[in-house]
A and B are shown apart, each in its own frame.
Chain A
Amino acid sequence: MIKAVYRWFDTRLGIGDTWMPMLRHPVPRELAGPLGWWYVFGSASMTLLLVQILTGIGLALTYVPSAGQAYESLLYLNYQQPWGWFLRSLHYWSGSAMVVMVLLHMTQVFWHAAYKYPRELTWCIGVGLLLCTLGMAFTGQVLRWDPDAYWGVGVGAAMAGRVPAAGPTIVDLLLGGPIIGADTLSRFFALHVFVIPGILLTLLAVHLWLVIKQGVSVPPQPGKIVDLLKYDAEYHEELRRGEPFLGEAMLKDVAVSALVVIVVVTIAALAGPKGPSAPPDPTLSGANPRPDWPFLWLFGLLSLSPPAAETAVILIMPIVLVLGLLAVPFISNRGERAPTRRPMAILLMIVIYAVLGVLSYMGQTSPWSPRMLAWSGDAVPVNLIKKMDESLSPVELQGAVVFQNKQCRNCHALEGIGGTRGPDLTTVGTRLTRDLLIDQVSNGTPGGGNMPAYGKQMSPTEMTALVDFLVSLRPAGTPAAITPSDRGTKNKGRLPNDASATTGPSAAK
C-alpha cells in the first residue's frame, strides 16, 4: 500500500530519477572521515536560516509593523504573549549565530581555498549571501523599534546623505518621507520580510545548485595543485572513489546542526530577548544609540577615521570591500590550496579578522563617546580632595565644583572613573604647568580637535579655581610641573597662590 502511494508520487514528481541522485551525489571520500568536520558550517547556516524563517513567521503573527504600535507589540510579545519572549529571543540569538556561522563557513572556504576553479561563482554567490545575512541583521535591528533602531536609521540616512548629488534623494527613498516614521518602519519591514529573504533564498538555490553541479572540494593537500587543464579529470577520478552525500558525510552536518540549535536555544532561554530598550521617542534625552554587534566595527571605524577621509570611508570603503571579496577567486583560481602553502592569503585573513576584532572592541567600549552623566553622577574621589591629612584650599575646592559642573568629567576621568575621550586627569598637576593648563582649557585643542575651547564657557574666577584644582591633582609629595626654562630658578615666574607647587601639600605642612 505505502509502496503504491510512493510509486504514484514518484511517477509524477520524479523522486527516484531526479531528487535521489542529487541527494546521493558523490562527495570526496575524506568527507566521511574526520576531515568531514570541516564541511559542516554551510549546512549549519542553513539550519539557522530555517530557524529564522520559522521564528520570523511566528513573530509576524503578533508584531505590528506600524511606527505607532510596533514598540507596544514588542512589549506584548515580551511580557504577555505565551512564549513570545522566547520566540523574540530565539530570533535574535539564532540570527546572531547565523552571522557567525556564515562567517565561519566563508573562513573555512578561504582557509582551504575551495573557491578556486571551478567554484569561483559559488564563492561570489556566497558573498551575496553574506551581504543578505548582514542586510537581514540591520533591517531586523530597525524592526526592534527602540532608540537604537530609530537612531540606527538616522545614522544610515546620514551616511547615505553623503553620496554626491544623489544623497538627499537616496535619504528620501530610504525613509519613505521627510522624517523617520511610519513609512520608514514599513519600508524596513518590507525589506526584512519580503525583499531580502527573496533575494537570499534565490541566491541560496543557485549556491546549492552549484554545490551539486561542481561537487564539494577535496580537502587540500600541500603540493596537490589546482591545474585548470587537469582538474576536471582528477576530480572526476576522485569522485569515482567517493561516497554518497546521503549517508556518513551528511551525518556530520546533521550532528553539528542539531548541536548548534541546542546551543542557540539554550542561550536564547538564558539570555532572553534583546530590547526594546525604550520607546522610539526622538526627543528622549539620554539616548545613547549603539548598533547591534555585527556593525560595531563600522561604528568604531566611523569614529576613528580622520574627518577628511570620512566621506570616502563611508562611500567607497564598502564598495572596495565587496569588490575585494568578489575578486578573491579571480585573483587566484589555480595553484596550491593548502593553507601552509598560502602564507600571504592566511596572513591577510588573520589581519582582516584582527582589524575587525579591534574595531568591534573599540565600538563596544567606544572610548571616544562622552559619558553624558559622569559630571553629575560620578563624584570627585575623596582622596583627591583630602590628601593624607592635608585638605585643598577653598579656591581649589571651588575648582573641583567647576570641574564637575562644566561637564569636564564627561570626557576626563578621575582615578579611572568618567569619560575616556580626553586623558585621565588624576595626576595632571605633575604634567602640565599652570600656564599650559590655562591655555589648554581656554583654547581647547587647536583647530577644533578633541577638546572644545572653554575660554568663553566660564568666568575668569571659575577659570582660576579650576586651574588651581587641576594643579593640585598630583600625588602627595610630588612637585607641580614646571617648564624647562624654569628649572633652577624655582620660585620665579609663579603665581602667588601656587606657593605649594615646589614642595607638595604634605611636605608643606
Chain B
Amino acid sequence: MTKTTEDRSELEVKPRRVFLKLLTALLGAIATAAIAIPGFGYLAAAVARRKEQPWISLGPVSAFPPGETRLKVIKPSDNPLAQPWDGITAQTGVYVRYLGRDESYQDQFNVFAINCTHLGCPVEWFPQSGLFMCPCHGGVYYENGDRASGPPPRGLYLCVWKVKQDANATEPHLFIQAPFLPTLQHTLTDKG
C-alpha cells in the first residue's frame, strides 16, 4: 500500500520548494547578521575607547605646597579623553595633595578623583577640618582619602601619578593618567 499524498512529507513531494524555503531562511539570517554585526561593533566602540589612558601634566611640582590639598582643574583642551565637542563637560578636576619627600628624597603625592565612591557625586574639600564631604548622601573622607564616615564603601579613588622632567621645562612636573569616570569595579589604578 502506497502512502497518500497527504501522508508523505513535503520533502518527498516538493523537494525544490523545501530547498527554496531553507535558502530563504539562510538569506534572511545573512541579511540580519550583515546589519547586526556592524551595529554591535558600532556600539562596542564605547568600550574600546577606554583603553587609552595617556599621561597629562598637572604642572610643576613646586606649584603644590607640601601638606595642602588643591583642586586642580584640567582644562578641556588638556583632557585627552575628551571629544572636541564635549564643551565644559570635558573639564575634569582632581584633588592633589603633596606629601613632601620620602626617605629616598622622592616626591610623594595623593591625587584623588573628585567622585565619591558611594554613587559618584562630587566631593568637596574643606581645608579647615581636613575632610572631604559629599553633598549627596553625606560621605566623608579624611585628607589621605580614607573613608571617614557615611555610606561610601571605600576610600577615594586614586589617580596614577608620576613625577618627570617636562620635555621643555627645567623643573620636574607632576603627571597623572587622564582620569575616566571611576566606578567601584573599574578604578583608576590596578590595585584600586
Contact = CB atoms under 8 A, between A and B. Distances in A.
B186 A161 contact: yes
Given A154-B121, A181-B90, A370 B148 contact: no
A369 B118 contact: no
A68 B88 contact: yes
A450 interface: yes
Interface string A471-493: 00000000000000000000000
Interface in B98-142: 114-115, 118-122, 124, 126, 128-131, 133-138, 140, 142
B183 A158 contact: yes
Contacts of A303: 136-138, 151
B185 A162 contact: yes
- Interface core residue of B81, B82, B133, B186 (most chain A CB under 10 Å): B133
Contacts of A448: 147-149
Contacts of A159: 119
Interface residues of B, number: 54
B149 A67 contact: no
Interface in B71-114: 71, 73, 79, 81-83, 85-93, 114
Interface string A428-439: 000000000000
B133 A169 contact: no
A386 B153 CA distance: 43
- Interface core residue of B86, B134, B136, B147 (most chain A CB under 10 Å): B136
Contacts of A449: 149
Given A67-B87, A175-B181, A407 B129 contact: yes
Contact of B81 (A161, A176, A178, A286): A178
Contacts of B73: 283
A123 interface: no
A286 B125 CA distance: 11
Nearest to A376: B128
Given A66-B87, A285-B71, A406-B128, A173 B43 contact: yes
B92 A281 contact: no
A406 B135 contact: no
B46 interface: yes
Interface string A18-55: 00000000000000000000000000000000000000
Contacts of B151: 302-303, 307, 310
Given A158-B183, A445-B149, A449-B149, A182 B85 contact: yes
Given A167-B184, A167-B186, A407 B49 contact: no
Nearest to B186: A168
A273 interface: no
Given A167-B183, A285-B71, A372-B135, A454 B129 contact: yes
Nearest to B49: A177
Interface in A281-306: 281-289, 299, 302-303
Give 7 nearest A-B pairs by CB, closest first: A68-B87, A161-B183, A178-B180, A452-B148, A283-B93, A158-B120, A168-B186
